[in-house]
Structure 1
Amino acid sequence: MATQNTDLKEAKKDAIMTPDMYRSMFLRQFTSQCSQSYDKMMAMGFMYTIQKPLRKIYPNDDDYYAALDRHTEFFNITPHVLPFVAGLTVSMEEQAAADKNFDTSSINAMKVGLMGPLSGIGDSFYWGTFRVVAAGIGIGIASTGNPLGPIVYALIYSVINFATRIVAAHLGYDLGTKFLQQSEENNLMSRMTHAAGVLGMTVIGAMIAAQVSLSTALTFDVGGSEIVLQDLFDSIFPGLLPLLATFACVALYKKGVKTIWIILGIFAICIIGTGLGVFAAA
């Protein structure tokens, strides 16, 4: 009997989440921020993302409208990981439709519980790692005068973006509520966030060394010999001036100085410094 119930459940799941349903969720998720507001954030976009599966799960209008209303509650998450929560939500809605004793408040509780941890992972991976890596490659190509730099950046980021969104929807739906138990037992969220942070910082460090260029043109005489200050820096600590400049920008940013003022300050210092012969012209 247990095997038969499992088979029926799997058959029902296969019938609900057809390729057409996944396609609908994939396309609709890109509208998740189109109706964003400060009181609901991405709630309406999330509801629209899963609207088609909900209609199939709940043929009865009253149940369908109640399900839609459930997903008008506040919701905010990194858009790239939204499909995972959407798949997980559809799985739980199926359980709610099959079991009249199912506590539907647990669905929103799950969404609220995952917003923070998944956003931490999403921000670290997509904004802090994948985008930075793609930008680093694109900038490296563009800096040589090759017009393909922006295209390469867009391709790398878009392929990763689209692929993970597709996989995330299937993964969330297939794992169902088992994911919550497994991630809590294995401390999966914090481990993934830490790994993404380490990778992101490594990439940023490499980009600073490769892309930030600053050298001094100062020289001075010692015993009749000309000493080039930049050569002295390079022999002691290669890349010292770019590193100090980066630390200075970070310190100003942490003190609340707006980015635009930091950029304008860099322009002013470089122009004046080059004019006075302090910095070497590129």
Structure 2
Amino acid sequence: MRTSCPIRVFLRSLLIHSSFNFWRMQNLGFAYAMLPLIRRKGLNRKDVSGFLVRHLEGFNTHPYLSGPVIGSIARLEETTEGSQAGPICSEVKNTLMGPYAAIGDTFFWGAWRPFSAIVAVLLAREGFILAPVFFLIVYNPPHFWVRCRGFLEGYRRGRDGIGFISAMNLPAAAGKIRWLSLAMLGVLAALAAQSTGHAIGSDPAFVPGALSLTVVLLCFWLLKMGATAILLLYGMAALLTLFSL
């Protein structure tokens, strides 16, 4: 495959989430990313139909980890002949999209984004006017690197490209980043308390704030114990109505 073709596939893969739908999720974005392969493979009309059908199947994973999947599928499309391409590509997509979605949510949504936001808030509190820009500078390079390097590894190694994501051990990294975020939140809380001019506990707003935090933690505990969000919503509405009387 000429170099320009995988480059076009990768650039299109960056838009996979722009056509998200609740029918087949990211299928339109996935098929759009694969379109440059049609001309490269020289498919006839019948083959093009089959090509589009298999890439318009339901697909949903974390957008930042879609690059390795698209790279692997591009390699398989190039190396697999005839009717075998459909089942093999579907198998790879169905195998990878679930685990990659969980890994991406855990690391990027659950760890890296909150960490980047906390860093930006600390800078903003110190009067750094470009704190929002700094958030983007901190947050964006890692996910773009994973997208780019993941696509290259997937395209180079085919279905074995999964080794790249496994080697990074993102769930373990997410745990460490969460602990670091908690430490930074502690620093932020100390700075906020210091700026009020009151000792911790003597501020008139301390008791209402502590009660609010207790309610939030209680809600998290109830959710963990199996309570539904609807039950908590109605329960809070009832309590607020009772206390407002």
| TM-score interval, normalised by the smaller of the two chains | 0.7 to 0.9
Aligned to 2:94: 112
Q: Does 1:210 align with 2:187?
A: yes
CA contact (8 A) 1:128 1:200 kept: no
CA contact (8 A) 1:121 1:196 kept: no
RMSD (Å), alpha carbons: 3.2
Give matches, 1:146-185, under 5 Å.
146-179=128-161
Aligned to 2:243: none
Give the TM-score taking structure 2 as reference length.
0.75
- Following superposition, the deviation at residue 110 of structure 1 comes to 1.1
CA contact (8 A) 1:57 1:94 kept: yes
- Following superposition, the deviation at residue 243 of structure 1 comes to 9.3
- Following superposition, the deviation at residue 200 of structure 1 comes to 3.5
Q: What is the identity percentage for the equivalent residue pairs of Structure 1 and Structure 2? A: 24
Aligned to 1:251: 218
Aligned to 1:195: 172
Aligned to 1:33: 17
CA contact (8 A) 2:27 2:56 kept: yes
Partner of residue 125 from structure 2, selected from 143, 165, 173 = 143
CA contact (8 A) 2:68 2:153 kept: yes
Q: Looking at CA atoms only, which structure, 1 or 2, has the larger radius of gyration?
A: 1
1: distance between equivalents of 2:211 and 2:93? 43
Aligned to 1:130: 112
Structure with more of its chain in helix, by fraction: 2
Any idea what SS the aligned residue of 1:86 has? helix
Aligned to 2:69: 85
1: distance between equivalents of 2:146 and 2:27? 21
1: distance between equivalents of 2:211 and 2:171? 26
Higher RCO, Cα 8 Å, sep 6+: 2
1: distance between equivalents of 2:76 and 2:123? 46
CA contact (8 A) 1:70 1:108 kept: yes
- Following superposition, the deviation at residue 247 of structure 1 comes to 6.3
Aligned to 2:37: 53
Cα offsets for 1:118-142 (capped at 9, x unmatched): 1121112211222122212211111
1: distance between equivalents of 2:142 and 2:83? 40
Query: CA separation of 1:188/1:26 partners in 2, compared to 1, >3 Å: closer, same or farther?
Result: closer
CA contact (8 A) 1:32 1:49 kept: yes
Any idea what SS the aligned residue of 1:177 has? helix
Gap runs ≥5 in structure 2:
194-199, 241-245
2: distance between equivalents of 1:54 and 1:244? 61
Partner of residue 71 from structure 1, selected from 52, 55, 62 = 55
Residues paired across the two proteins, number: 218
Give the TM-score taking structure 1 as reference length.
0.66
CA contact (8 A) 1:132 1:203 kept: no
Gap runs ≥5 in structure 1:
1-15, 219-229, 231-241, 266-282
- Following superposition, the deviation at residue 248 of structure 1 comes to 4.4
Aligned to 1:279: none
Query: CA separation of 1:33/1:152 partners in 2, compared to 1, >3 Å: closer, same or farther?
Result: same
Cα offsets for 1:167-219 (capped at 9, x unmatched): 11101111212345x69xxx948x8253134124213322331234563117x
- Following superposition, the deviation at residue 116 of structure 1 comes to 1.2
